[in-house]
Chains A and B, each alone.
Chain A
Amino acid sequence: MAKVELFVNGRAVTGEAEDRTLLVHFLRENLGLTGTHVGCDTSQCGACVVHVDGRAVKSCTMLAAQASGSTITTIEGLSPNGELHPLQVAFRENHALQCGFCTPGMIMTSVDMIRRHPNGLDEATVRDQLEGNICRCTGYHNIVKAVLDASDKMGKGAVKAA
């Protein structure tokens, strides 16, 4: 068993997990943060994307023990004061989600994408950078629109807001 100490969504948490426990399972099963989803077993679908020390990471590619000491933000921590993050707003306003299963990962990936492109994004870049997130419902059309919309609205402040 491994001892896992994390700072998750602004809160210090400690727990024990089997050595083989993946970060995503620790978040879901030990911490009850079920907003992070598991959609595959080959690190392809991106439903499990969270932020580890500020960067988007597929939480199925990392052991919980390996993440120990890190600061984690999950979808539940994206709007800590109840005020929706601009990407959450953009996803809703652009109808960028249907069943909602890929949505948390899509949003967490997109937040990081906008952070890395403070001068704005274009459609080709957004499509290219969503390579690691699979959606079966939307055909990506409105997801791309939402990311571009949020990127525009966040403007130069993107780094700070993300």
Chain B
Amino acid sequence: MGVEGIGARVLRKEDKRFITGKGRYTDDMSVPGMKHAAFVRSPHAHAKITGIDVETAKKMPGVIGVLTGAELKADGIGNLICGWMIHSKDGTPMKMGAWSPLATDTVRYVGDAVVIVIADTKGQARDAAEAVDVSYEELPVVVKTAEALNEGAPQLHSEAPGNLIFDWDIGDEKATNDAFAGAAHVTKMDIVNGRLVPNAIEPRATLGVYDAGEDHYTCWTTSQNPHVARLVLSAFYNVAPENKLRVIAPDVGGGFGSKIFIYPEELICLWASKKTGVPVKWVADRTESFLADAHGRDHVTHAELAFDKDNKILGLKVQTIANLGAYMSLFSSSVPTYLYATLLSGQYDIPAIHANVKAVYTNTAPVDAYRGAGRPEASFVLERIMETAARELKVSPAELRRKNFIRTFPHQTPVIMNYDAGDFDATLDAGLKAADYEGFEKRREEAAKRGKLRGIGLSCYIEACGIAPSAAVGSLGAGVGLWESAEVRVNAIGTIEILTGSHSHGQGHETTFAQLATERFGVPIESVSIVHGDTDKVQMGMGTYGSRSGAVGMSAVVKALDKVEAKAKKIAAHLLEADEADIEIKDGNVRVAGTDKSLPWFQVALAAYTAHNLPSGMEPGLKEGAFYDPSNFTFPGGCHICEVEVDPETGVTEIIQFVAADDFGKIINPMIVEGQVHGGLAQGIGQALLEGTHYDDTGQLLTASFMDYTMPRAQNLPSFNIMTTETPCPSNPLGIKGCGEAGAIGSPPAVINAITDAIHNNNLTMPATPQIVWNAIQAAK
């Protein structure tokens, strides 16, 4: 490894603009004639729209346009869709209710968009939005996940009787029942995984510009995947054909999944720009983000785990109700199915698994992928029930896990996934050692003397990243392929541009992707630039989510680098009159191995472009593209250990230490990976201790601001003790597994296992706020 190559802690190239205030986010964009939009949103969770009066609003100062869903429909703009088809166990396709970008006859959650107002200033747009008079006839409301399927529950969509979107099965039910029949012990649990609001600190925003001269649209938007946005806006919503629509995702201030999806607002602003003849910008305020960004999680589960007399797992049964909110967001159906139930085998050799998932509509914001997307829910179920089983069986939670670890690879689970590599003993051992697990009982005794309840909890998680082999996901219902693309352009003086379909919104691609070229050609990292986030600049790509930028995006770069290297070597062999096989590229020079014959890198690049002396028949230029379609998911895994002290008087939990030992395969830049883990842990610990999303019985979101929804702040978190082990991933050229979601997947069960260990009450819901913990302590007395 060089100082700037693979494995080096290279400081980020992109930092300079962010630390000096020169980052360019969507809200920083401005174009001549630009106007500002505000949305009129439903104040009711469920209501019929009986009238929309826009006349007063239209006469307000500065108002350019007040547009409704009826006009949108008349212009042929399509409904929003979910792009992943799930079939119920009876073979019927999922039942998707219509989602009009602007509601025309019924609103189904508080925040449902009804009217867009466009005015000279943001303030004027808001004033006029206040003056729009929408008449509603309120309808009965269903909010709670567990109540959506109740007989007599209010109906959201006529397409989905009983609010049931799908009733989906995975695994072998009969084999699982048979396994349970011979069990020596069965642990049973009801487990709730609460709803979360992603809350990237940059609110969603969009700027839609219609150019009448070219009949062309430009959409600046806060997106993790601008090409997917363009595809969906073109192919499904009929905004414009792809060649007439440019989507730009400039600097994006965090995504965590919430910026994958195509929302009503960007679609409406594009349409409204043509309709009104002015560029239209919309920026969500934070309350709009709470109301109308896709939320995460929200599962209610019953799980049963069967053991034989030697404490080996025989089988797992899981029944889950997944709340998808009022409408099916773009990838919502995949989250509680193929991203959840396929991970229920965890790190364990489980002979039989059966899971049933019922997805339901409720009068709440749509739910879709949020950091980890399904895998945190799976991990929470399995790692809570493993810890609980260990307590019931009166064995060490660490040893019960170890006894059941998978140790031979590849390993086919009963739920589709084929694990290719891993060493679960290694991460468990590293975690136990770092946490001084053996010394815990002494610390517990010492804490008790101070009147504190000390507890320790483990979680040994696995996840699936690198999403995903296109043919595989296609067979499972995905509407798109999930490959990635790259183009490597070597310029005439040897500088390099890498165009990638991956999108960086905090992950540091401008550095890590450049490290690949630096490693390959020995050129300084300053001479490598990464181009991403603009459909006019970059070839079609699939974007960033599911920790796929390394495993899939970088693999595409590697393929393109291979091609560039091969051509450069041919050119150099010709110029140096040597055999191509003898050419090596090192430290910025291209040389004949074992001789002093060499050329600087730039001269080879220059030769490719002057084309004065190329091998016979060779095309000029040094630029290659590649598409990479993975052959398998990747399987990061690890061991997280949390140690807490609870004050029995107040119920306040303090995290004394948090250890994360993760196996991410090959690591390109340890500094960036550590940052990803820290952030994931904060979100996971936030879920465990702080973040609760509360709708009241009428469907009002009570936690719709940072005053009400508890975001993790610096004083809520400890410094983390993190480390990695490495078993390279065999399915991609760099051996990368992915690291973006691990922290959010592994940590919630570790925290809850620690608290329940401390308070001797296993019945504890997230977020474990002081009130909830205090009540649980009282209940255990």
**Count the B residues whose beta carbon is within 8 Å of the partner chain — how many?**
59
Q: Are B20 and A88 in contact (CB under 8 A)?
A: yes
CB A27 to nearest CB in B, in angstroms, measures 10
Instruction: Judge if B199 is at the interface, Cβ distance under 8 Å.
Output: yes
CB A89 to nearest CB in B, in angstroms, measures 8
Instruction: Judge if A26 is at the interface, Cβ distance under 8 Å.
Output: no
Q: Are A42 and B707 in contact (CB under 8 A)?
A: yes
- Give the CA-CA distance A138 to B712 in the complex, in Å: 11
Q: Are B12 and A104 in contact (CB under 8 A)?
A: no
**Set of chain A residues within 8 Å of B714, measured between Cβ atoms:** 126-128, 130-131, 133, 140, 143-144
**Set of chain A residues within 8 Å of B20, measured between Cβ atoms:** 35, 75-76, 78-79, 84, 88
Q: Are B705 and A40 in contact (CB under 8 A)?
A: yes
**Binary interface profile of A, 2-36, with partner B (CB < 8 Å = 1, else 0)?**
00000000000000001010000100100001111
Q: Are A136 and B200 in contact (CB under 8 A)?
A: yes
Instruction: Judge if B593 is at the interface, Cβ distance under 8 Å.
Output: no
**Binary interface profile of B, 109-132, with partner A (CB < 8 Å = 1, else 0)?**
000000000000111000000000
Instruction: Judge if B449 is at the interface, Cβ distance under 8 Å.
Output: no
Q: Are B675 and A140 in contact (CB under 8 A)?
A: no
**Set of chain B residues within 8 Å of A99, measured between Cβ atoms:** 200-202, 251-254, 505-506
- Give the CA-CA distance A97 to B18 in the complex, in Å: 8
**Binary interface profile of A, 97-137, with partner B (CB < 8 Å = 1, else 0)?**
11111111001000000000000000100111011011111
- Give the CA-CA distance A102 to B202 in the complex, in Å: 8
Instruction: Judge if B609 is at the interface, Cβ distance under 8 Å.
Output: no
Are A35 and B23 CB-contacts (below 8 A) given A137-B679, A142-B675? yes
Instruction: Judge if A63 is at the interface, Cβ distance under 8 Å.
Output: no
- Give the CA-CA distance A142 to B676 in the complex, in Å: 11
Instruction: Judge if B683 is at the interface, Cβ distance under 8 Å.
Output: yes
Q: Which residue of A lies closest to B288 (CB)?
A: A41
- Give the CA-CA distance A99 to B679 in the complex, in Å: 11
**Set of chain B residues within 8 Å of A33, measured between Cβ atoms:** 21
CB B89 to nearest CB in A, in angstroms, measures 38
- Give the CA-CA distance A76 to B20 in the complex, in Å: 6
Q: Which of B152-160, B345-353, B576-584, B715-723 contacts A (4 or more CB under 8 A)?
A: B715-723
- Give the CA-CA distance A33 to B22 in the complex, in Å: 9
Checking A100, A131, A134 against B506 with a beta-carbon cut-off of 8 angstroms, the contacting residue is A100
Q: Are B202 and A37 in contact (CB under 8 A)?
A: yes
Q: Which of A25, A130, A139 has the most CB of B within 10 A?
A: A139
Q: Which residue of B lies closest to A144 (CB)?
A: B714
Q: Are B705 and A95 in contact (CB under 8 A)?
A: no
Q: Are B674 and A95 in contact (CB under 8 A)?
A: yes
**Set of chain A residues within 8 Å of B711, measured between Cβ atoms:** 44, 134, 136
Q: Are A98 and B679 in contact (CB under 8 A)?
A: yes
Instruction: Judge if A72 is at the interface, Cβ distance under 8 Å.
Output: no
CB B676 to nearest CB in A, in angstroms, measures 8
Q: Are A100 and B251 in contact (CB under 8 A)?
A: yes
**Set of chain B residues within 8 Å of A36, measured between Cβ atoms:** 21
Q: Which residue of B lies closest to A32 (CB)?
A: B30
Instruction: Judge if B1 is at the interface, Cβ distance under 8 Å.
Output: no
Instruction: Judge if B331 is at the interface, Cβ distance under 8 Å.
Output: no
Q: Which of B12, B122, B675, B717 has the most CB of A within 10 A?
A: B675
Instruction: Judge if A53 is at the interface, Cβ distance under 8 Å.
Output: no
Q: Are A140 and B682 in contact (CB under 8 A)?
A: yes
Instruction: Judge if B16 is at the interface, Cβ distance under 8 Å.
Output: yes
- Give the CA-CA distance A32 to B678 in the complex, in Å: 33
Instruction: Judge if B697 is at the interface, Cβ distance under 8 Å.
Output: no
CB B91 to nearest CB in A, in angstroms, measures 41
Chain B 16-49 interface residues, beta-carbon cutoff 8 Å to A: 16-25, 27-28
Pick 6 A–B contacts, CB within 8 A, sort by A. A91-B15, A100-B14, A101-B254, A103-B18, A139-B681, A139-B683
Question: A139-B681, A140-B678 known; 12 other A-B pairs, CB under 8 Å?
Answer: A18-B123, A34-B28, A35-B21, A39-B253, A41-B285, A44-B705, A45-B706, A76-B20, A88-B20, A99-B253, A100-B14, A103-B19
Name B's A-contacting residues (CB within 8 A): 11-12, 14-25, 27-28, 121-123, 199-203, 251-254, 256, 283, 285-287, 505-508, 671-672, 674-675, 678-683, 705-707, 711-715, 717, 719-720, 743
